[in-house]
Each structure stands twice: as C-alpha cells, then as structure tokens.
Structure 1
Amino acid sequence: MTLADATPATARYELDADPARIDRDVIWRFMTEHAYWGGWRSRGIVDRQIDASWRVVGCYDRADGAMVGFARAISDGVSLAYLADVFVLPEHRGHGLGVRLVDHMIEGSEGPHFRWMLHTGDAHGLYAKAGFRPPDHTYLERPGRAPDPR
C-alpha cells in the first residue's frame, strides 16, 4: 500500500515527519499501557530514544490534530536503518494506518534502498506488506538486555 492508495477512511488521517509535532505524552502513554516491548523504559529513556532517532513519523487525526500513531527509525542515513516503536492507538486501528506509517517511514525518506531491520512479536503480516521477511544466513544478532534501573 502506498499513500496514494488512501481510502476515504484513511483520508481522515495525515502523516507527518516533523519531529516538533510528535506528541511525547501519547507515545509515553502507549508505551506504558500497551507496548509489550517497551515496559522496561523510563520516560527519560523514551525521550532520549526519540531525540536520537534518524526519523520520526506521526499519524494524526485531521478532525482534531491528535496524534494517533507513531514510528521511529535509527539509521546511518546511507545504507542501514532500524525501525522501532511502531504503533497505532487501539481505537484507530483497522484503517491501514500501520501500513501507511511504515510506508511513509521508508518510501517517504532517503531509505527505500536501505537494509531495514526490526523486531516484532506479533505484527509479521503488517511488515511483510512493506517487504520485510525473515533474515537470511548472513544475519547475526547479539540480543540486548535492559539497562540496570539503578
């Protein structure tokens, strides 16, 4: 799906990569209330991750301007990127916004030719629509661990 494929339901929403527009309170609430992957993070860590991101994309409801979805990426800006913290608020799901967020992140940037990586426990179908697939034999990973909260 590309942005040109927007339906009347998705036309209600707009995507924007302006970091100044990101609503950090919405991100923090989602991370603490819904995100299985982000529970270890403090608000300070989430803010640092947003600040250090190569690109952030927000999805906004045109009716009131409220941010209803988010994605961020870290990258060298040349050949490699990692997609993280992609979400759509539960009450706005079912309109293809997750696909649009990922599409805008990748295709609406310098990143279409990058090698993109991500981790997910439950959204393989969404990311497959953007061309993600299991890694080949050349990919190795050293799993991380949460920092000591002290």
Structure 2
Amino acid sequence: MDYELDDDPARIDVDVVWRFMSTEAYWGRWRDRAKVERQLAGSWRVVGAYRADTGAMVGFARAVSDGVALAYLADVFVLAEARGGGVGKALIRTMIDEGPGADFRWMLHTADAHGLYRSFGFREPDTTYLERPGKQAPISEP
C-alpha cells in the first residue's frame, strides 16, 4: 500500500491522534483530550502519514522547537494496520531530515524503539545533558 506524508497541520486527524494517545500510547495515556489538542496546537511541526488511496491518516509525529537550533520529537506512532511497511521510518525521516530542522539537535524519549531511533543518529546523551522529569505519570511501560 502506498502512503503520503504531509506536514500540513490542518490535515491532521485529531480524532485519530486522540484515539491512539488515549488507548495505545504508553507514554501519553495520562493526557486528556484537551491537553492533546493543546499540544497539537502548540507544536512547531506535525507530520502525518496518509493512505494514498483513501487519505486516511495512519501515522503521526510532532515536534516542539525553538525554530533555530534544537527540537524535541514526540508522539510518533503508526496504526497497527500500517506497520511493517516503513511508515514509521518515513515519518521520522520527514520530520528530522527533510524539514526545516534538518540541522538541529534533536531529542526524544522512548522506552521501546531505541534501535529505530539509533538508525537516525540518536544516541544516549553525553555528560552535558541533564533532565528534570515531569510530575505527570512516569513513563515506564514499553
């Protein structure tokens, strides 16, 4: 099946994002729909993956950024029906390598996709990186 990637925020199917985030995303089930919608509205860039034949959204990624030097990749997912065909890799490539942030320092958190992200140059942080964890539900379930 063929897929199309698009960074038009108006094309994002908020219902698909909400459904995935509220039921399948181990990292995001603590958010209510209003928070998910605020995060979408405040994102620096969003990329959706769509079936070429129907236009239905089957994958998503978003980023927050200062627009100059650094960005944080978040909420990357591919619906089960579209997995295994390279959609996830295409989403990540489009977001970090083919857009306005291609030269940025990119950050992310993941509990289960280290190999995928390493293939794009992500690695464990060096000794200059510190983080203050948030107070929402901990991210521990892979």
Query: Which of 2, 16, 26 does residue 26 from structure 1 map onto?
Result: 16
Quick check: 1:95 aligned with 2:90? no
Query: Which of 31, 56, 61 does residue 41 from structure 1 map onto?
Result: 31
Amino acid at match of 2:115: G
Equivalent position of 2:128 in the other structure: 138
Deviations 1:2-48 (A, max 9, x none): xxxxxxx5xx0010000000000000000112100001100000000
Structure 2 contact 4–52 (Cα < 8 Å) conserved: yes
- Secondary structure in structure 2 of the residue aligned to 1:81: strand
Structure 1 contact 99–129 (Cα < 8 Å) conserved: no
2: CA distance between counterparts of 1:139 and 1:35?
Answer: 26
Equivalent position of 1:15 in the other structure: 5
1: CA distance between counterparts of 2:91 and 2:22?
Answer: 21
1: CA distance between counterparts of 2:9 and 2:54?
Answer: 19
- Listed as ranges, the gaps of 5+ residues in structure 2 are 138-142
Query: Which of 50, 59, 80 does residue 60 from structure 1 map onto?
Result: 50
Equivalent pairs: percent with the same residue? 66
- Listed as ranges, the gaps of 5+ residues in structure 1 are 1-8
Task: Count residues in correspondence.
Answer: 137
Name the TM-score, length of structure 2 as normaliser.
0.94
Structure 2 contact 22–32 (Cα < 8 Å) conserved: no
Amino acid at match of 1:96: G
Name the TM-score, length of structure 1 as normaliser.
0.89
Structure 1 runs (4+) greater than 3 angstroms displaced: none
2: CA distance between counterparts of 1:109 and 1:15?
Answer: 12
Post-superposition offset of 1:61? 0.4
Amino acid at match of 1:95: G
Amino acid at match of 1:114: F
Equivalent position of 2:140 in the other structure: none
